[in-house]
Amino acid sequence: MRRTRLVWLVEHPPLYTAGTSAVRQDLLTPERFPVYETGRGGEYTYHGPGQRVAYLMLDLKRRRRDVRALWPRSRKPSSRRLISMNVRGERREDRVRVWVRRPERPPLPDGSPAEDKIAAIGIRLRHWVSFHGLSINVEPELEHFGGIVPCGISGYGVTSLVDLGLPVTMEDVDICLKKPSKMFSARPLRTPFDGSVQRPSASY
């Protein structure tokens, strides 16, 4: 029986990826790490050790052929997973990704509270099959994000679960990701970091 969804949990070596909306000036240090052009939406982002990346492949032909419906649903599981780890991840209509408030930091120039990005999402469809990636910062080297303008959004920082003071391991995050939900209910295939870039491969 053909599966309608698959999940890969991976951990990449240090690299930058460029989405279809990436602009060259947002790549601040192009010689720092390898840069991979991808077909996902969005701009530049960083992946590396200490960051869990979940690739979710869904067959929308057996669900609902509407990427606009997939997008908001794809953000909710990441927020709920963070809440289960005592982190309140929030969505912003004018800024994609998942954010956490940092009240201990000075407010932004417009007076709004400081916020850091803790998770990112990218979506690609091919023949109504999604190539969807979710990344959660567990304990990456946050300084590595300085080589890009993350997701094309300036003025905001990047944080991680450990940076927020949580004694969380990659295994703890995997347990949360494997809990059943409308999006992450397939049997995950956990792939350990072995120093190489790992991608789901399929032909449709």
Which helix (DSSP H) or strand (DSSP E) does residue 101 occupy?
A: strand 95-101
151 is annotated as an active-site residue = yes
Cα 179 from Cα 81, distance rounded (Å) = 9
Cα 99 from Cα 120, distance rounded (Å) = 9
Residue type, 106: P
**Closest alpha carbon to 13 in 38, 34, 39:** 34
Q: Which residue has the tokens 């450990």?
A: 162
- Decide if 21 contacts 40 (C-beta within 8 A): no
Start-to-end CA distance of the chain, whole Å, equals 16
Cα 25 from Cα 167, distance rounded (Å) = 36
User: Of 151, 173, 176, 183, which residue is the catalytic one?
Assistant: 151
Q: Which residue has the tokens 């800024």?
A: 95
Catalytic residues: 151
